[in-house]
A and B are shown apart, each in its own frame.
Chain A
Amino acid sequence: MVCMSNNLHGGISMNQSEFLRKFEVALDEENETITPTTDLDDLIGWDSIGKITFMSFLDSEFGINISDKQLNDFKNVSDIIALIQYKFN
């Protein structure tokens, strides 16, 4: 599990907590309901439009383009965080 204090990199500096809040907004989920261990398949917002909104967020905040196949390989939110950190390390 990724430490909460870790900074995620990108166009702007963003820590994990900020990332989770923005992820909730992208998916129209309630505030502070998503944690790194949240299973993506449990999120109602993780549908076609939710994934598109998230892809837009990844592109504009981190310059990362990701395919639907890659998205479907993710099991939980920490997998996404790991990808972002991998891209910048």
Chain B
Amino acid sequence: MKKGYIKGIEYYLPELIDHNDINDRSTKKIGISEKRIASSNEFASDLAFKAALKLFEKGICTPNEVEFLLYCTQSPDYYLPTTACILQDRLNLPKSVGALDFNLGCSGYVYGLSLAKGLIETGMVSNVLLITSDTYSKYINSKDRTVRPIFGDGASATFISCQDSNIDLIGPFVFGTDGKGAENLIVPAGGLRQPQTLETSKEIEDQFGNARSANNLYMNGPEIFNFTLREIPAVIEEILYKLNKTLDDINFMVFHQANAFMLEHLRIKLNIPAEKFSAQVSTCGNTVSSSIPIAMRNELDNNKVQIGDSLLLVGFGVGYSWSACQIIYMGE
């Protein structure tokens, strides 16, 4: 039976480095010493383009093999057209490809894998290119210490192909959505509901000296943490139930790389051994939908994952939106 599988993963980070103040108590807690930031004339689609080129250069696939492009971003080039269409042209993908954007953040990579699996295993296509890319730095007020030290820009590209297999190589999945949390991680102005105006660009300073306007990214960190504690343990329980496995049966786990403090709290709460748990935020920060594939690439390079291993991927954040899945690593 034809099953989708991950054939290769690459990522690209912009060159500009933003260092966090190592003496700041927040820096120590979040475990992020630096992150990469797109320059003023560099956009998410530029990072996406470079990430995809790395897949081609490493011989994972050729542009002509791509039959469907899935592009996950919350930093589109335009309201319209769809950035995936621009990327089709820039990457010299065949005109026969399907291409679409989807707007998700930290859960986006796992959702993208579910879409790719659906396209492949229903027989519509054989090969999918999944790209994630974001430049949250362009939404962040440089005087807002609740978000600036945390988020980094970056892009990933994953080639999903198919082969005969008796077992799922991607999946099963668990999904979740709770739009009640929308206000806790948001850029309030800039869409149609609240267009950017002089009024929305006015900065307001909070009691801790953090400044932001309605055009900027706002995050209620404690509420996001509370959401994670509330939902993620149940997600793990549910995916393990679907798999009929225990945590001991899973070889490696890659959670959304929110920050070191949250990851470590979840790891201890869920009784996951440190050697089976990815922690890859220190030099790139929270790269939103790219955090899972970036961590996976790094863990593959560190030989933490072997062919045939069962990996659990868990994405959670803005929306609120969350998802988890198992993948079987098939080598590159």
Contact = CB atoms under 8 A, between A and B. Distances in A.
Given A47-B208, A49-B30, A55 B222 contact: yes
B222 A56 contact: no
A33 interface: no
Interface residues of A, number: 19
A67 B261 CA distance: 18
| Interface footprint category on B | 20 to 34
A56 B258 CA distance: 15
A65 B229 contact: yes
A56 B261 contact: yes
Contacts of B262: 52
Contacts of B268: 60
B96 interface: no
Could you tell me the dominant secondary structure of chain B's interface residues? helix
B58 interface: no
Contacts of B230: 65
Interface string B202-234: 000001100000000000111101100110000
Interface of A: 28, 41, 45, 47-49, 51-53, 55-56, 59-60, 65-69, 71
6 contacts: A47-B208, A48-B208, A48-B220, A49-B221, A56-B265, A69-B223
Nearest to B147: A48
Contact of B222 (A41, A59, A60, A68): A68
A71 B222 CA distance: 9
Given A49-B30, A55-B229, A68 B265 contact: no
Contacts of B30: 49
B251 interface: no
B223 to A, nearest CB: 4
B26 interface: yes
Contacts of A67: 222-223, 226
Nearest to A71: B222
B146 interface: yes
B327 to A, nearest CB: 29
Given A28-B25, A59-B265, A60-B265, A52 B229 contact: no
Contact of A52 (B207, B221, B269): B221
Contacts of B269: 59-60
B242 interface: no
Contacts of B222: 48, 51-52, 55, 67-68, 71
A55 B25 contact: no
Given A48-B146, A60-B269, A53 B226 contact: no
A45 B207 CA distance: 12
B29 interface: yes
A49 B220 CA distance: 10
